[in-house]
């Protein structure tokens, strides 16, 4: 069921500053910022060859990233995203195994225009897990 690592996401308080750090200091290519109101974030992606880094900045007070940054003001690793072939089959299998799917349990369209789901960090060793249909 589990496919390749699509990205590692890092929550940041200032996406312009974080993008400049990756571009200018680390020499990476950073995509243009993309606002995802449904997810309460602005994102950029950095392709590092074998996977991507996603930088997340909160949009709006209700953003889950805002809560994360309140506890981690400098930013920090927020989630890992794995690819799956069939997101509904993956969801049903995980639910049957007792894992909790966040939100209403229905996939939303993520930053790559593909369906995504998030799994409760308490069910995955304290790590928020995103699944994306490849």
Q: Assess contact for 20 and 14: CB atoms under 8 A.
A: no
Does 131 bind Co ion (CB under 5 A)? Our answer is no
Q: Rounded CA gap, 80 and 124, in Å?
A: 11
Only one of the segments 12-20, 44-52, 81-89, 96-104 lies at the binding site for Co ion (rule: CB under 5 A); that segment is: 81-89
Q: Report, in Å, the least distance between residue 118 CB and Co ion.
A: 9
Q: Among residues 46, 53, 81, 94, which is the contact residue for Co ion, using CB under 5 A?
A: 81
Q: Rounded CA gap, 19 and 2, in Å?
A: 30
| Positions 6 through 45 that interact with Co ion (CB under 5 A) | 9
Q: Rounded CA gap, 85 and 22, in Å?
A: 31
**What is the binding site for Co ion (CB under 5 A)?**
9, 54, 81, 130
């Amino acid at each position: 069921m589990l496919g390749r690592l699509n990205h590692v996401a890092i929550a940041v308080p200032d996406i312009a500053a974080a993008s400049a750090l990756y571009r200018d200091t680390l020499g990476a290519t950073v995509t243009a910022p993309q606002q995802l109101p449904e997810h309460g974030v602005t994102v950029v992606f950095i392709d590092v060859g074998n996977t991507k880094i996603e930088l997340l900045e909160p949009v709006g007070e209700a953003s889950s990233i805002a809560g994360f940054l309140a506890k981690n003001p400098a930013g920090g690793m927020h989630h890992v995203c794995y690819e799956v072939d069939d997101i509904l089959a993956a969801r049903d299998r995980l639910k049957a195994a007792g894992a909790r799917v966040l939100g209403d349990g229905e996939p939303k369209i993520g930053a790559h225009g593909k369906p995504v789901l998030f799994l409760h960090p308490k069910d995955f060793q304290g790590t928020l897990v995103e699944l994306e249909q490849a």
